[in-house]
Structure 1
Amino acid sequence: MSKLFALALGILTAIGGFVDIGDLVTNAVVGSRFGLGLVWVTILGVVGICVYANMAGRVAAVSGRATFEIIRERLGARAGMANLVASFLINLLTMCAEIGGVALVFQLVTGISPLLWIPLAGFGVWIVVWRAKFSALENATGLLGLGLIAFSVAIFLLHPNWGQLGEQLIPRIPVTEDPSTYWYYAVGLFGAAMTPYEVFFFSSGGIEEKWTAKSIGTMRANVFVGFPLGGILSISIAVCATIVLLPQAIAVTSLSQVALPVIQAGGTIAFAFLVVGMAAAVFGAALETTLSSGYTIAQYFGWSWGKFRRPAKAARFHLVMLAGLIIAVIVLMTGVDPIAVTEFSVVFSAIALPLTYIPILIVSNDRGYMGRFVNGRVSNALGIVFLVVILVASIAAIPLMIISGAGQ
C-alpha cells in the first residue's frame, strides 16, 4: 500500500498539470476543429515532460535542492532574477486560469455565475495550502482526479468508426483551417503538456517527501506512470470531441461543451464521475500553481519553504502564495474569460519553458554535481532533442499567435 501511495505525487502532477483546465479546453478545442490530426503533439509532449521531470526529479533527489535553487546558482543572481520574474508571471497567469477553471466546474454543476464562485475557489485553495498536509493534498486530489477516466470510457460507449478515427491520426491540416492556426494550436498543446509549473511542483514535492538517491526508483515510477496516464486522458478528451463535436461543427467556448460527449455517452452517472474528476484535477492544478509560486520565490531568495514546515516557520513562503491568490482572484473578478486566460497561458508556458529546462539539462550532465547519477547516453540524447524542440516552440509561439489571430 505504501508503494501505491508513493505514486500519488506523479498522479497528482500528471492529472493536475497535464490534465488541468488548459488541457481540458485545448484538447477539446483541437479535437472539435482538427480531429485527431494533432495527437502527435500530445504524444511528443508526454515524452518531453517525462524527459524533463526525470532529470529535475533526479537532480532534486541526489542534491536535495529544487529547481530555482539550482537556477540561481547556475545562472547567477541577475540572469536568475530574469528567469524568476518570467517564470513567476507565467505561473501567475496559469494560476488565474486554474482558479477560473474551478469556478467554471462549479458553474457547470450549479448554473451559478463563475463570478460568485471565484472568491470561494481562491479561499478554498488557500485553506488547503495553509492547513492540509502535503501527503493528504497529493493523495486525495490525485486519486479523485481519476474520475477523468470517464472520457476514456465514453469513447467506447459512443461506438465510433475506429477505421475513420485511425485515418485521422495521420497529421494533416484541414482544408478549412489556415496552416498558421494549425501550428498555433500545436504549440499550445505542447505548452499544455510541458507547463513549467509541473516541474517546479514535482521537484519541490520530492524535497517535501525527503527524496534521496535511494528514492530515484520511486521518482521514476512517478514520472513514467503519472505523465503517460495524463497523456492518455488528454488524448481521450480530443477523441471524444472528434467523435461528437467535430461532425456537428460545435465550437468549444464553455466547459459544458467539453463535457457534452461524456454526457451523450453515459448520461447522468458518467457526468457525475466526470465532474468529480474535473473538480479534483483543476483544483489540484490550482494547488500546484499556488505552491509553485511560493516555491520559486522562496527557493531563489533562500527563504524557509515547504509544507513540511509549519506556516509560522515559513511565513514568507505562505505570504507569497496568499498574494498570488489575491492577485488571481482580482484579475478574474474583472470579468475576464477564464477560457481565454487558459488558452493564452498554455502558449506562454511554451515561451517560458527554455528558461527552466536549460539549467536542469546542464546540471543533470554535471558529474561533479550528480556523480554517477548524471544523464546516460539515451537520456542526454533525448534531452538535447527536446531542447531543440522547446526552443523552436518558444521562438515560434508569438509570431504564430499574431499571424493566426490567437487561433481565430
Structure 2
Amino acid sequence: MKGLFAVALGILTAIGGFVDIGDLVTNAVVGAKFGLGLAWVVLIGVSGICLYADMAGRVAAVSGRATFEIIRERLGPRVGLANLGASFLINLLTLTAEIGGIALALQLAAGVGPGLWIPVALFGVWIVIWRTKFSTMENVAGLLGLTLIVFVVALFLLKPDWGQLGTQATQPWGPASDSPVSYWYFAVALFGAAMTPYEVFFFSSGAVEEKWTSKDLATERANVFVGFPLGGILSLAIAACAAVVLLPQAIEVTTLSQVVLPVAQAGGQLALAFVIVGILAATFGAALETTLSSGYTLAQFFGWSWGKFRRPAQAARFHVAMIICLLIGGGVLATGVDPITVTELSVVFSAVALPLTYFPILVVANDPGYMGDEVNGRFRNGAGIVFLVIILVAAVAAIPLLIVSGMGSA
C-alpha cells in the first residue's frame, strides 16, 4: 500500500492529464470516427510526456526548486514571460473546461442541468485547494480516478473482434482516406492532449510540495513510468469501446452520455455508476491540477511565496490568483459555452504552445549548475531532440488544421 501511495502523484497527474473531460470526449470521438486508427498518436504522446515529465521531476528533486522557477532564472525574464503567457492561457482554458466537465459528470449522476452544478464545482475545487493537504488530495483524487479502469473491463465484456481492432491499430492509414484533414486534425489534438503543458508544471511543483530530494529519484521514476502509461491505457480503452459500439452504428459523439454508452451497454447500471465516479474524479483531479498550475506558474515567475505546504496566509497572492482563475472559468461557463468545445480548443492550442514549454525543460535538464551529476545523458538528449522536432511539426500544423477541418468536421 505504501508503494501505491508513492506513485499517487503520477496517477493523479496521468488521470487528470490523459483522461480529463477533453480527452474523454476526444478519444471517444476518435474511436467513433477512426476506430483505433490513431492509437499510434497516444503511444507517441505517452512516450513524450514520460520523457519530459521525468526531466522536470528530476530537476525538482535534485535542485529542490520547481522547473518554471528555474526557467526564468536560467533563460531570462523574456523567455520566462513567453513561457508564462502561453502556459497560463492554456491552463485557464483547460480549467474552464474541467469545471464544466465536473458539472457534466454531476448531470449524468443526478439528471439536473449542468448550469446548476457549476457553482458547486467551483466551490468544491476551491475548498479542497484551500483546506486539504497535498498528499491527501493526490491520494484520494488519483485513486478514485482508477475506477475509469471500468472502460478496460467493459471492452472485454463487449467481446470485440480483436483482430479487427488490431488491424485498425496497425494499419491506421485506411480510415484516413475518407477524411485525411480531419484525421490529422485529431492526431494533433490527441498529441496536444497527451503533452499538455500544465502536466509537467504540476508534476514538478508537486515534487517540491512532496519535498523530494535526489534520494527520491526512484519514486520520481515510478510516478512517471507507472502513472502516465496508465493514463495512456485508459485513453486507448475509451477509444476502443467507442470503436466497438459507436463506429458500426455511425454514432457521432457530441455528449458525455454517448461517451459512457459502451460501458453501460457492457456492464449495465453498476458499470455506469463506476464510470460516473471515475469521470467525476478525473475531471475534479484535472480541475485541481489546472487551478494549482495556474497559481504555480504565476507565483514562480513573479517570485511569490507558493505551495500548499504553506498556510494560505503565508502564500496569499498564490491563493488569490487561483481564486481569480476559478472565477474567470466560472464566468466563461456562465455564458452557456460548451465545455467540451472549450477543451477541444485548449488541446489544439496546447499543441501550439508545446515548443515554449519543452525546449526550456531540455535546457535546464542539461545544466550542471542545477543538476550536478544528474544532467541528461546522450539517450535522453537524443530522444528529447526527436520529440522537439515532432512537437514543432504539431505546433506549426495545429491552427491550419483547425481552420481547414472545421474542428474535425470536414
Per the TM alignment, residue 178 of structure 1 is displaced from its structure 2 partner at its CA by 2.0
Whether 1:205 aligns to 2:201 is no
Match of 2:314 in 1: 313
Deviates more, 1:146-155 or 1:68-77: 68-77
Instruction: State the AA in 2 paired with 1:81.
Output: L
User: Are 1:173 and 1:182, in contact at CA under 8 Å, matched by a contact in 2?
Assistant: no
Per the TM alignment, residue 350 of structure 1 is displaced from its structure 2 partner at its CA by 1.0
Matched residue of 1:174: which SS? helix
Instruction: State the AA in 2 paired with 1:265.
Output: A
Instruction: State the AA in 2 paired with 1:86.
Output: A
Following the alignment from structure 2 to structure 1, what is the Cα–Cα distance between the partners of residues 3 and 265?
37
Per the TM alignment, residue 173 of structure 1 is displaced from its structure 2 partner at its CA by 4.5
Instruction: State the AA in 1 paired with 2:304.
Output: W
Instruction: State the AA in 2 paired with 1:340.
Output: T
Per the TM alignment, residue 176 of structure 1 is displaced from its structure 2 partner at its CA by 6.8
- Structure 2: segments with no counterpart, 5+ residues: none
Match of 2:128 in 1: 128
Match of 1:365 in 2: 366
1:6-405 equivalent positions in 2, closer than 5 A = 6-169=6-169, 170-174=171-175, 177-405=178-406
Following the alignment from structure 1 to structure 2, what is the Cα–Cα distance between the partners of residues 18 and 376?
27
Per the TM alignment, residue 16 of structure 1 is displaced from its structure 2 partner at its CA by 1.2
Pair 1:383–1:406, CA change in 2 (3 A): same
Aligned residues: 408
Percent of aligned pairs with the same amino acid? 73
Per the TM alignment, residue 79 of structure 1 is displaced from its structure 2 partner at its CA by 2.7
Matched residue of 2:221: which SS? helix
Instruction: State the AA in 2 paired with 1:334.
Output: T
TM-score (structure 2 length as normaliser): 0.98
Per the TM alignment, residue 75 of structure 1 is displaced from its structure 2 partner at its CA by 2.6
Deviates more, 1:168-177 or 1:386-395: 168-177
Per the TM alignment, residue 369 of structure 1 is displaced from its structure 2 partner at its CA by 2.5
Following the alignment from structure 1 to structure 2, what is the Cα–Cα distance between the partners of residues 154 and 127?
34
User: Are 2:260 and 2:272, in contact at CA under 8 Å, matched by a contact in 1?
Assistant: yes
Deviates more, 1:300-309 or 1:365-374: 365-374
Please identify runs of 4+ aligned residues in structure 1 that moved more than 4 A.
none
Matched residue of 2:65: which SS? coil
User: For each residue in 1:218-258, what CA deviation from the matched residue of structure 2 results, as whole angstroms up to 9, or x when unmatched?
Assistant: 00000000000010000000000000000001110000000
Deviates more, 1:70-79 or 1:343-352: 70-79
Following the alignment from structure 1 to structure 2, what is the Cα–Cα distance between the partners of residues 369 and 284?
31
User: Are 2:102 and 2:283, in contact at CA under 8 Å, matched by a contact in 1?
Assistant: yes
Following the alignment from structure 2 to structure 1, what is the Cα–Cα distance between the partners of residues 221 and 177?
42
Pair 1:266–1:54, CA change in 2 (3 A): same
User: Are 1:71 and 1:356, in contact at CA under 8 Å, matched by a contact in 2?
Assistant: no
User: For each residue in 1:259-294, what CA deviation from the matched residue of structure 2 results, as whole angstroms up to 9, or x when unmatched?
Assistant: 000000000111111111111011000000000000
User: Are 2:176 and 2:183, in contact at CA under 8 Å, matched by a contact in 1?
Assistant: no
User: Are 2:71 and 2:364, in contact at CA under 8 Å, matched by a contact in 1?
Assistant: no
User: Are 2:189 and 2:351, in contact at CA under 8 Å, matched by a contact in 1?
Assistant: yes
Deviates more, 1:1-10 or 1:230-239: 1-10
Following the alignment from structure 1 to structure 2, what is the Cα–Cα distance between the partners of residues 242 and 304?
48
User: Are 1:70 and 1:359, in contact at CA under 8 Å, matched by a contact in 2?
Assistant: no
User: For each residue in 1:133-180, what CA deviation from the matched residue of structure 2 results, as whole angstroms up to 9, or x when unmatched?
Assistant: 001100000000011000000011001111111111121142673211
Per the TM alignment, residue 87 of structure 1 is displaced from its structure 2 partner at its CA by 1.1
User: Are 1:364 and 1:370, in contact at CA under 8 Å, matched by a contact in 2?
Assistant: yes
User: For each residue in 1:170-200, what CA deviation from the matched residue of structure 2 results, as whole angstroms up to 9, or x when unmatched?
Assistant: 2114267321111110000001111111111
User: Are 1:303 and 1:317, in contact at CA under 8 Å, matched by a contact in 2?
Assistant: yes
User: For each residue in 1:8-28, what CA deviation from the matched residue of structure 2 results, as whole angstroms up to 9, or x when unmatched?
Assistant: 001111111111111101100
User: Are 2:16 and 2:289, in contact at CA under 8 Å, matched by a contact in 1?
Assistant: yes
Instruction: State the AA in 1 paired with 2:331.
Output: I
